[in-house]
Structure formats: C-alpha cells, structure tokens
Amino acid sequence: MAYFKNIEKIKYEGSSSTNPFAFKYYDADKVVAGKPMKEHLRFAMSYWHTLTGEGSDPFGGSTMDRPWNELSGIEKSKLRADLGFELMSKLGVEYFCFHDLDIAPEGDSLKEKHENLDIMVAYIESLMKETGIKCLWGTTNAFTHKRFVHGASTSPNADVFAFAAAQVKKAMEITHRLGGENYVFWGGREGYETLLNTDTALELDNLARFLKMAVDYKEKIGFGGQLLIEPKPKEPTKHQYDFDAATVISFLIKYKLDKHFKLNIEANHATLAAHTFEHELNVSRINGMLGSIDANQGDPLLGWDTDQFPTNIYDATLAMIEVLKNGGLAPGGLNFDAKVRRGSFELDDLVYAYIAGMDTYAKGLLIADQILSEGVFESFVADRYASYRSGIGEKIVKGEVGFEELEAYALGLKEITNTSGRQEMLESILNQYIYR
C-alpha cells in the first residue's frame, strides 16, 4: 500500500526546476571528486523524528497527521516501518538510523521488549531485502523511561547501570543482525544537575567501564561496525559528560578507549556548545576521529535542540569541506536527525523536508569540491604558515631547538612583522563560490 499516493520517485531536475517534488542539486549518480554524490553523502533517515515524532511541545499535544494515529502495539510499528521504507525508496535515501524503542513497543518487561524487538527486526529485515535499503546505525534509548531519571551508565543506582547494559547488548545484537555499519552512543541523561548530590569521579569511571564492556561485547559477537559517540553539551542534563568533541576525545584517551571509537557530530549539538558545526568536525577530523554526521540545524534565536532540517548552505559548504578533507565519512554517513516543524503536519511535509536537506548538502558538496580543487584557501593557509618551513620555524617543527636557543634567536631580532589574516577578503571569496 502506498501512503505517499501522489508522489513518484523524486528525480533530479536541476536548479531551474520549479517542481517542489524534485531535486535541484542532488543528482545521486553524478560524479564529484572521483565518486558519485550518493557515496559522498550516504544520506540516512532518522527513524525517530520521521516515524515516531508527534509534534508535541510543552504547550500542546500531537499535531502530526499520520495513518497510524489510531493504532497501537506491533500493528502501529509495522505501519510506521512500511511508510518509512516507502519514503526512503521514493527519496533515494539508502540508509536509516534507529533506537530500539523507535521500531517496537516497549512492552511491560524487558523480556516483552526483547520479544517485540525480534518481531520488528524480522519485519524490517524483509523490507530491507525488498528495497535494498541499509542500516547506517542503531542505538538504544536509555533516557525516556523514568528508570533513567538519574542517568543510565552514570546513574547512582547500579540496577539502572545493569538495565542499560542489557539494553545496549540487545540493541547491538539487532544492529549487527540488520547489517548496521555503526553503533551510536549518545549520552542521553549521562550528566548531572548539581554537585550537591553527585560523585562525578565515580560516574565518569562508570561511563568508561560501560563503554569498555560494549567494546568487549562487540568483539565477542563479531560485530564489525564502527562505535560512535555523539557529543552534546546540555539538554536534558545541565552538564552532559560528552560536552563536545574535545571533551569526548580526551575522555576516550584518558580511559584508553580512543582506538575503539569515533565521533558522530551533530550540527545543533555543536551550536549548543557555542561552537560552529565546522569547528566540531575539524576537531574530530584532525584527531582522526570524524566518523559520522547528524545533519540538522538549530535556530540562532533559540537556545535548545530544535533539530530542524538543514537548509543553511553556508554551514553545509563548510561542513562538506571538512568531510572531503576527511576522505569521506564511510562507514559513517549523513543522518538527518531532524524533524518537521509542528505546523508542518502533513505527510508531504516530510518529503519537502528531506528534499530541502538533501539538496542543501548536495549543493554544499559541489561548492566544497570547487573550493578545494581550486585550492584558494589552502594556498592562503600554506603561505600564512610559511615561517615554519625554513629558518627558526623549521627548527621548532623539527624539535631542534629549546627555550635557550629561542631566547638567543629572539635577542637577535630587530623587528617582528606580522601579515594580515585577511578574514573579510576570504569571506568575500567564499561568498563568490557560494553564489556563483
């Protein structure tokens, strides 16, 4: 049965098309920088925002007009899966990402939850075979249920730690069964509100113990996917332990876990941490840890995780420069961790939203490729650091001098001349690339 009745497979029609149900920039098989666009972008649908989001906010309930609104239990989950796979097929989105709780009802016990998951995993497996759609990553939801009120692996209650471990074990097994290429850990409620009731040292050690168990179990079951951590600075807790890329990287190094994990960088989480998206991507990339992206955007006027579909071409361009410099994202990809606005409650709005996000990143890729192939910024940067390629700079880089030699050198300096950083000129060049 088709739920998007009046919509055929979305095609590329070029930038002059006025058809709202067509791609203006995303041309899946067009070769850019040596490979098809779809291989650079590896777009994924987020199961939660797309299929379980209801449009509720603190001031009002659900608004979404969905065919499952009157259903419950497994029947509801199956309808969601059918609609999700139809949407992905029509959009040409080749991957999906999911939490265990998105795909199956929770049930009244852990045992029932596992049984429901098994039914839905088999169902989704058949849809994957039919459509060729793959799983980019799976994860567990260890934050919605009230048992996680004080966190999951950082809860003061060891029973909660054990329950969360059982959830990750099962979620990793089903991700493995579905051929998932990655497994994500987002901190959920792994953080704290006040030091008056919190042993942060124990909580952080426990978080590391938990992740170590996950690495061991991954190896035990032969799951070959990449483990990813998704940093976020706040919301739901005031102080999240996985604040930003730099915090997560030093945590992983401290606990000797850095070889086992990469990062899943989310645009809106970066801005909540008062960083730009490209900053977080850059910090991850230069440390060899850029694994995947949750593509969305926040609202510059609101200080929370609005998870909007990405339409900002400037941000997408700067992000794709980092992705290209990273040599791509695979086995990661670009997951639209984004939801339609509360007022966009019709099914067609999902299609418009994905087209907007996919076109934004496709255009960002095209511009980033032009920028990198013409090398304007890179040659500017290379010139800016020329002093480290000869003379005293070269000696510093080669480790041939210490403070004493540098003092002797500095005493001999007559005048120090700096050159302009030319920020405004470079921003203007960037605009030329974006608008040409």
Residues catalogued as catalytic? 99, 102
Q: Which string of DSSP letters, residue by residue, matches 359-401?
A: HHHHHHHHHHHHHHHHTHHHHHHHHHTGGGSSHHHHHHHTT--
Quick check: 102 binds ligand XUL (CB under 6 A)? no
- Taking CB under 6 A as the criterion, the residue among 102, 181, 305, 369 binding ligand XUL is 305
- Is the Cβ of residue 116 or residue 139 nearer to Co ion in the bound state? 139
Q: Determine, following the binding rule CB under 5 A, whether residue 203 of this chain makes contact with Co ion.
A: no
- What is the rounded distance in angstroms from the CA atom of residue 322 to the CA atom of residue 281? 6
Count of residues that bind Co ion according to CB under 5 A: 3
The partner residues of 229 in beta bridges, in order of sequence, read 185, 263
- 294, 305, 322, 359: which one contacts Co ion (CB under 5 A)? 294
Helix, strand, or coil (residue 36): strand
Q: Which of 266, 280, 305, 359 binds Co ion (CB under 5 A)?
A: 266
Of the pair 294, 322, the CB lying nearest ligand XUL is at 294
Q: Is residue 294 within 8 Å of residue 263, measured between CB atoms?
A: no
Instruction: Copy the structure tokens of residue 319.
Output: 């992000």
Contact 289, 262 (CB under 8 A): yes
CB under 5 A: which stretch of 169-177, 331-339, 372-380, 421-429 binds Co ion? 331-339
Q: Does 307 bind Co ion (CB under 5 A)?
A: no
Closer of 272 and 366 to ligand XUL (Cβ) = 272
Contact 305, 235 (CB under 8 A): yes
Phi and psi (nearest 5°) for 291? -105, -45
User: Smallest gap, in angstroms, from Cβ of residue 196 to Co ion?
Assistant: 30
Which conformational region is residue 223 in: left (phi greater than 0), alpha (psi within -120 to 50 degrees), or beta? beta
Q: b/e for 265-283, b at 16 or more Cβ within 10 A?
A: bbbbbbbbbebebbbbbbb
Burial class (CB in 10 A: 0-12, 13-18, 19+), 77: buried
Query: CB of 335: closest distance to ligand XUL in angstroms?
Result: 7
Shortest distance (Å) from residue 78 CB to ligand XUL: 23
Beta-strand pair 239-240/191-192: antiparallel
91 binds, among ligand XUL, Co ion, none (CB under 5 to 8 A by kind): none
Q: How far is CA 429 from the centre of its chain?
A: 29
Residue 186 in contact with ligand XUL, rule: CB under 6 A: yes
* Least Å from the CB of residue 269 to ligand XUL: 6
Span 372-391, contacts to Co ion by CB under 5 A: none
Give the shortest CB-307-to-ligand XUL separation in angstroms: 7
Least Å from the CB of residue 298 to ligand XUL: 11
Strands (E), 187-285: 191-192, 226-230, 239-240, 261-266
Q: Which residue is nearest to ligand XUL (CB)?
A: 186
Q: Which of residues 232-271 bind ligand XUL (CB under 6 A)?
A: 232, 266
Amino acid at residue number 15: S
Residues between 313 and 352 with contacts to ligand XUL, criterion CB under 6 A: 337
**Residues of this chain that bind ligand XUL (CB under 6 A):** 99, 139, 184, 186, 230, 232, 266, 294, 305, 337
**Residues of this chain that bind Co ion (CB under 5 A):** 266, 294, 337
